[in-house]
Amino acid sequence: MTISMKAYANADDVLIAWQPDSWPTNWVGFQLERRNDTTQQVTTIANRIPPQPGQGPVQPTGISSAASPIRRCIWTDHGAVATDSVSYRVTPMIAADKGTFTPDASSASAWTAPVVAAGDAGGGLEAYFNRGTLMSQIVSRFVNGDVSDKSLHDFLNNLKTPGFQARLYLAGDALHEILHFLHDADRRGSSIHAAIYEMNDRELVEALKPFGSRGHVLLGNGSATEPWVAQELTAAHIEVKHRDLSHHGRSSPSVHNKFVVESDASGRNAGRVLTGSTNWTTTGLCTQLNNVLIVEDAQIAGRYLDQWGKLVAAGDDMPASLKATNSKPTDHNNISLYFAATNGEAEFKPVLDLIAGAQQGVLFLMFMPGQSPLLEALLDRVQQNNIYVRGVVSTVTASKTGDIGTVGGQVVKSGAPAQAFHDDVELPAGVSEEDRPSWAETEFNVKEIHAAHLMAIVHSKVIVVDPFSNNCAVITGSHNFSDSASGKNDENLVIVRGNTQLAQAYALHINGVYDHYSWRAYLANGGAPDQIYKPLDGWKPGGSRAQELEFWMNEPITPQTADQRAPTGQKSPPATAPKKRT
């Protein structure tokens, strides 16, 4: 009897997958253990569900997987301490008397190869994430059951306060690394050039002030930017520029970048850049799901610095010369960089090629992509059903006055209809993507948090292709992957090829989001909660989770058959792919 195991890490989590070579029928689940490879201390991982159905929720700290076995073959460990080298082992568990369990010790796996939870992916690349999907759990703990408007309003206000525990937890590594990037640059006496869609977070503004005349900030037209931001930055002797592609104070077309370039004191020689999806607002840090990518490459950073100057020179316009320059990529060290707006959706062409050429799997997160050719291509791969595909598409609608209509989206998996998840708010009105208010990417109000059951927005824009292959790719940046973003907005889109550590870090990020929302979609579409207590058959060859396990074990992918696509009792709506473009 052999149980094979693999472990993958990013800055925040470790994903562990395991696969037995045979499946005794008396196994009901697994005990999972973590070993600190420096101290040799072994910790039993806690499960998040009780040992039997109907026993109610467990404590926030969970319950030992020795007492409540993990009834699956993939697990994400949120408890690994950053920079610690850790290994994992599973032991099958057998039902015993009176609802207890006993280990099948003779079938325990070997320890995995050591992994370290860290953001550094090598090659001058680092990736970090916040914890937006945990919004509801964190709010519940901090308001102690009081979900009145006043209580939630107070909680949101407290999120603005540096050091507030919920802020630190929700913002996670994203906040820490933005601050670290700025503090390091200031300590070195460097200059910075930032292009930020919107800004209102006090801690981030304060971190910019020490640069004084070495700081240069281009503020976009996001409506969450508050007047004091530019006033205080200017008072700190930072150069502040403004750009509004709408010409009328609207948030669309969007000046949508979120990047900071570090250069030498002269401001001419760039060395590294911070980019990603994270808006510099309290909600961008705490109530949206976002990512931060740091690239230490002089040529790539230099192109960002050059773009900053071009945007300032363009004022509030998108001249043809800028679109022409944007349409030509900068390629260096397996990194391709595009800016939008472009001609003929130039930035989408290499991404479409990567999606079409995927051999094992594609994972993705999208925020309001509209009639995106990239989403269309991904849904084509879903229908082909010959690779592993998992994704979440997040959507919001709102009235033209900014009142929220709905928050929701779809979870997507290969060979299966898309499943909707949503929480409707009181107002059903909606507007088109082109006319959407800035709320769609910025502020939650009390009504929304209450009525939407504290549900956060998936704001990350990421596609990962074949993360276990040397031909892997990560596509990310500020770009929403939509037609309108390509043709009208200021955006940046980064393609990184061949860095498996980075690809796996982003794949873990996406998988955690997918698991979070697919469970909600499953319940919303008629799924039975007690399905998680069913036997392990779904993980066996031919089971409904077999393809998922094959992917994370880096094995050939078996197409999903019709009876594998959803657990018994689940009602799936028809897929809602974008209309074919002509």
Chain position carrying tokens 């909707």: 420
Distance CA 518, CA 538 (A): 16
Measure the CA–CA gap between 203 and 258, rounded to whole angstroms: 16
Q: Report the pLDDT value the prediction gives residue 156, as an integer from 0 to 100.
A: 84
Q: What is the pLDDT of residue 139?
A: 74
Residue reference for tokens 């004191």 = 265
pLDDT for 563: 52
3-state secondary structure of 292: strand
The superfamily in CATH containing domain 121-516 is Endonuclease Chain A (3.30.870.10)
Cβ-based neighbour number of residue 468 at 10 Å: 18
Q: What is the pLDDT along the chain (582 residues), one digit of tens a residue?
A: 799 999 999 999 999 999 999 999 999 999 999 999 999 999 999 998 889 887 777 777 889 999 999 999 999 999 898 889 999 999 999 999 888 999 999 999 999 999 999 999 999 999 999 987 666 667 777 877 676 778 878 888 899 999 999 999 999 999 999 999 999 999 999 999 999 999 999 999 999 999 999 999 999 999 899 999 999 999 999 999 999 999 999 989 999 999 999 999 999 999 999 999 999 999 899 988 999 999 999 999 999 999 999 999 999 999 999 999 999 999 999 999 999 999 999 999 999 999 999 999 999 999 888 889 999 999 999 999 999 999 999 876 655 544 445 667 788 998 887 776 544 322 222 333 343 333 333 333 434 444 434 456 789 999 999 999 999 999 999 999 999 999 999 999 999 999 999 999 999 999 999 988 787 777 767 777 778 888 899 999 999 899 999 999 999 999 876 555 544 333 333 334 444 443
pTM of the full predicted structure?
Answer: 0.91
The pLDDT value recorded for residue 418 is 74
The C-alpha atoms of residue 130 and residue 486 are separated, in whole angstroms, by 26
C-alpha 242/C-alpha 490 separation (Å) is 13
Residues of the chain with CATH 3.30.870.10: 121-516
Provide the pLDDT for residue 75: 97
Class of domain 3-118: mainly beta
Domain with CATH 2.60.40.10 in the chain: 3-118
